Amino acid sequence: MAQSVVLHKILNVREEEKNNAQKEKAKATDRFEEMARNLYAVLKKKEQAEESFHHVMRDEATITKIKEQSLYIESLNKKIALLQHKVNQARKQLEAKQEELTEAHVEVKKIEKMIDKREQDKRDHERKLDMAEMDEISIRQFMMHVQNG
């Protein structure tokens, strides 16, 4: 019985670890989604800037205007590269947190199975003791019947 208590304490610790892993994964998911949204927004800006640049090129525009549009697109490209790097980092972190969550879940399941096995073993042992006691009672009753009859 003491072993079951210990296992239940371990299970509680493992479940808390699993809950913490779930929270960390949720945070990592939120961060990844935020980075991806930022990247998408900058990509949309770049698309619009390139479209505007093509309009400027078709119209007769000043060199200054063309240079401004080119510099703006170039700055967006740098921002995109940085955001792509951040998205990749966030993805890796998300994958690591998912792995931690999976491991924590497996550990909880292992402990639960150990508890179930021990409890089943205890029930089997109690059933054997009950059957032995019933056999003993039956033998006594039979012996009393034989002695009285």
Residue 14: its pLDDT value, please?
A: 94
Model pTM score = 0.74
Residue 36: its pLDDT value, please?
A: 96
Residue 1: its pLDDT value, please?
A: 55
Residue 3: its pLDDT value, please?
A: 72
Q: What is the 3-state secondary structure (H, E, C) of the chain?
A: CHHHHHHHHHHHHHHHHHHHHHHHHHHHHHHHHHHHHHHHHHHHHHHHHHHHHHHHHHCCCCHHHHHHHHHHHHHHHHHHHHHHHHHHHHHHHHHHHHHHHHHHHHHHHHHHHHHHHHHHHHHHHHHHHHHHHHHHHHHHHHHHHHHHC
What is the residue-level pLDDT of the chain in tens, covering all 149 positions?
567 788 889 999 999 999 999 999 999 999 999 999 999 999 999 999 999 888 888 877 788 888 898 999 999 999 999 999 999 999 999 999 999 999 999 999 999 999 999 999 999 999 999 999 999 999 999 898 888 86
Q: Does CATH number 1.10.287 belong to domain 2-122?
A: yes
Domain ranges of the chain: 2-122
